[in-house]
Chain A
Amino acid sequence: MDFNFVKEYIPHYIEAAGLTIRIAAIGISLSILLGLLCSIIRYFRIPILHRAVGIYIELSRNTPLLIQLFFLYFGLPKIGVVLSSEACAIIGLVFLGGSYMAEAFRSGLESIANSQIEAGLSLGLTKGQVISYIVLPQAISISIPAFSANVIFLIKETSVFSAVALVDLMNVAKDLIGLYYKTDESLLMLVSSYLIILLPISIVFTLIERRLRHAGFGN
């Protein structure tokens, strides 16, 4: 193990980790929005949109992100739509993440018994109040485990972006292996970077889940 090499190339990894985190943050926030929108459409069965969202969810859940990215990055320019690799990465992540988030939120919404809504209405709450005070607080705490699993899953999926020429952690490691044949050092730094990014997130979510279960909601 050549630690001078490790020291020399750590800045590359930090820069790449910044890019990974930035794209993951943008992509995940947008997919939460898309997921919320889709789950609301599915929950209230809004006529035509309901169908469209159903098709979208099945399509995106049953195809790999790599193919979605290749389609965006190599396929679309052939019909005149040229996207930068960063735009492709974000669009791909949101396309994939939106459906996963939608499923997580929907399972939360659907687990609220009808009697809860009816009880709220009979107490004289308006529909908006029922949703914001009764349905949402319970639904959110129920969907937290699925939600946190999705966040970690989506951050992991960002490793695929190296295939569309984005200089993320994976790409830096691949370059260093190819250029200097320092396989052990590059892979060690790669593994450590992902551990440093993902381990705290995983621990925080475990704590949140435990607290919510403690509050008597999520079981």
Chain B
Amino acid sequence: MQDLGIEVLFQGKNLFRLLEGLWVTVRISIISVLISIVLGIVLGMIMTMRNPFIKIITRCYLEFVRIMPQLVLLFLIYFGLTKMFQINLSGELSAVIVFVLWGTAEMGDLVRGALTSIPKHQYESGKAIGLTVVQNYLYIIIPQTIRRLLPQAINLVTRMIKTTSLIALIGVVEVVKVGQQIIEASRLTTPSAAIWIYGVIFFLYFIVCYPISILSTRLEKHWRN
């Protein structure tokens, strides 16, 4: 029978190494998501202010980060920033910086949208029945905001996990890079390794992202009314 090449997955610790690489990917996304949720909530609140100066600055930041491809942002931080300030950033650190910058912008916009979508009479009727400002936010505004926010925030997590595949291009050793290493190492023994390795990575991403996006659509449907 012809050599299929699938056995490259089970040679040595190859499969285990791929999973280890996947963990690097997921870890970077989780760290960035957590930081950008905190910063994004702050940014979203700042963006609802009426000060025109603040509005222009946040708008510019948002537009710039959203319009630049993430790969360009990665290059800007990894090559540009490091040369400009003569500092040394590891690939992983620059990846986290970029994803926090990007995630904060996206999250900030989501928070702003959720906050402004709550009608004014909600604030006013809370006040009218004698709630303090803190109670008003705690019992009326925040629960409603979270319902609108959470599905989209979860969706952002899957987008971030998918985008982390790009950090292989600035030299971080994550699942794609590990895959390339395995392919290179077995070039002579199993020449057809590429199709299996990339196929497995394809499904690894799918297995990670699919449950999260299902969760997001479920929550959205559940909370719609």
Please give the residue numbers on chain A whose beta carbons come within 8 Å of chain B beta carbons, in ascending order: 58-59, 61-64, 66-68, 70-71, 74-79, 152, 156-160, 162-163, 170, 173-174, 177, 183-184, 187, 190-191, 194-195, 198-199, 202
Contacts and interface: CB of A to CB of B under 8 A. Distances in A.
A71 B80 contact: no
A59 B183 CA distance: 24
Contact of A71 (B5, B199, B206): B199
B202 interface: yes
Contacts of B202: 63, 67-68, 71
Nearest to B164: A64
B175 to A, nearest CB: 9
Contacts of A64: 162-163, 165-166, 205
A94 B81 CA distance: 34
B68 interface: yes
A198 B83 contact: no
19 contacts: A62-B162, A62-B206, A66-B165, A71-B195, A71-B202, A74-B194, A75-B194, A75-B199, A78-B191, A79-B192, A152-B67, A156-B70, A159-B71, A162-B169, A163-B169, A173-B75, A190-B72, A191-B68, A191-B76
B147 to A, nearest CB: 19
A219 B213 CA distance: 25
Contacts of B210: 58, 62
Nearest to A60: B206
Interface in B92-107: none
Interface of B: 5, 63, 67-72, 75-76, 79-80, 83-84, 158, 162-163, 165-166, 168-169, 176, 183, 191-199, 201-202, 205-206, 209-210, 213
Nearest to A197: B67
Contacts of A162: 71, 169
A78 B79 CA distance: 34
A115 to B, nearest CB: 18
Interface centre among A64, A71, A79, A163 (most CB of B within 10 A): A64
Contacts of B192: 78-79
Given A76-B195, A78-B5, A198-B67, A177 B165 contact: no
